[in-house]
Structure 1
Amino acid sequence: MKAYSSDLRQKVIDAYKNQEGSQRHLAKRFSVSLTFIQKLLKRYRTSGTVEPKAHGGGNTAKLNNEQMALIVTLVEEDNDAILVELCSRLEERTGVKVSRATMGRITHKLNLTRKKKRCTQVKNTQNECKN
């Protein structure tokens, strides 16, 4: 979720200073939670600023750019491979183990489609596969 704008934060502080209502009333008026109002006021009292804190970061990517490029190659080599097969092939080549869900997110992020061959039965009971 994105942080509330500095403009909104300043309006809340100004309204509170002008005693335009209780914290609950301000929360309803500005369509924010009571907890947000309480934390904003505490932050303003202690540090004197209403600016949002910097983002704390997140998990680092498990795969580097080379490994992502390898996934593109793996999908190009075998477009019929299922996610589990791609995971095992990636592990064989790089030693990095990823889950099926992670592989699904990566292929989606890279816009890789894994279109399966469609097999239809012909009258002679032979299977004819189409891409």
Structure 2
Amino acid sequence: MKAYSLDLRERVAAACAEPGAKICQVAARFAVSLSFTNKLLRRQRTTGTLAALPLHPGPAPRLDTTGDQRLLACLREQPDATLAEVAQALLAAGGPVLSTSATWRACERLDWRRKKSLHAAERGTERVVGLRKEFVEALAEEDFTRFVFVEETSTNLTYCRRYGRAPGGQRLQPAVPLHSGPNVTLLAALTALTPAGLGALLRVNGAVNGDVFAAYLDQVLGPTLRPGAVVVLDNLSVHKVAGLDEIAHK
């Protein structure tokens, strides 16, 4: 918490020194707590100053530069390790014994944050890497405004929040639906042709199959396409049904 400014402290002390002033009224006038006002006056009497005490930075880091490098090596070797596993790996690498909280603080200080994003393992194969490189190189000379990227996403309407708040010593036990509710799928086109960058929206109940996607391409996306537009689809199976090329070229 940031300390009150010296200017405010001086004004509070001056108001308290006025004849007939009451500390509680001064505290309310300057929107500060009564406890702060009492401590401020006591500090003025005992030290002669109204300046704020220096903030305590907390315990010094347990790791020096060498320890930081060992910790970074452990994190790079197994990025999804738990804090306890990181502490054990650091100890095995010659580092000091760290608690879970000390390990967390060290990771935060090095700006290594808790996150994880999964992708298919085959994305790193030589064949796929080569294909991605060829694709990017082929697009280098293209007009990016011609491209329209079609994506789908779905959600379940009975999802509930995983966390909440309750008074100390009490549990929070919200009800969860007994049966899973309906899924809703949203189809959309990402394009530079619209100011928002998003267009051709369609919401459908349930999953998307070949017939639904063909209808989306024909009745929703198709009318928004301009001549020369390039529709980019991913490897989803419904994108491979017969007849989509004819619909897109209409």
TM, length-normalised to structure 2: 0.42
Q: Which has the higher helix share?
A: 1
Counterpart check, 1:105 vs 2:133? no
User: How much identity, in percent, do the aligned residues show?
Assistant: 31
Question: In the alignment, residue 96 of structure 1 is paired with which amino acid?
Answer: P
Native 8 Å contact 1:24 1:34 kept in 2: yes
1:14 is displaced (CA, Å) by: 1.3
**Structure 1 residue ranges without an equivalent (≥5):** 120-127
Native 8 Å contact 2:12 2:30 kept in 1: yes
| Separation of aligned partners in 1, 2:65 and 2:73 | 13
- SS of residue in 2 equivalent to 1:61: coil
Query: What are the equivalent positions in structure 2 for 1:59-74 lying under 5 Å apart?
Result: 59-74=59-74
| Separation of aligned partners in 1, 2:30 and 2:97 | 47
Q: Which has the higher strand share?
A: 2
Counterpart of 1:9? 9
Q: Give the direction of change, closer, same or farther, for the CA distance of 1:75–1:61 in structure 2 (3 Å limit).
A: same
Counterpart of 2:85? 85
TM, length-normalised to structure 1: 0.74
1:101 is displaced (CA, Å) by: 3.2
Question: In the alignment, residue 43 of structure 2 is paired with which amino acid?
Answer: R
**Structure 2 residue ranges without an equivalent (≥5):** 125-250
Identify which of structures 1 and 2 has the higher relative contact order when contacts are C-alpha pairs closer than 8 Å and 6+ apart. Answer: 1
- SS of residue in 2 equivalent to 1:75: helix
Question: In the alignment, residue 105 of structure 1 is paired with which amino acid?
Answer: R
* Deviations, residues 47-86 of structure 1 (Å, cap 9, x unaligned): 3221122335531211112111211111222334333222
Native 8 Å contact 2:3 2:52 kept in 1: yes
Q: Give the direction of change, closer, same or farther, for the CA distance of 1:76–1:57 in structure 2 (3 Å limit).
A: closer
Larger radius of gyration between Structure 1 and Structure 2: 2
| Separation of aligned partners in 1, 2:15 and 2:100 | 51
Native 8 Å contact 1:117 1:129 kept in 2: no
Counterpart of 1:18? 18
How many corresponding residue pairs? 123
Native 8 Å contact 1:80 1:117 kept in 2: no
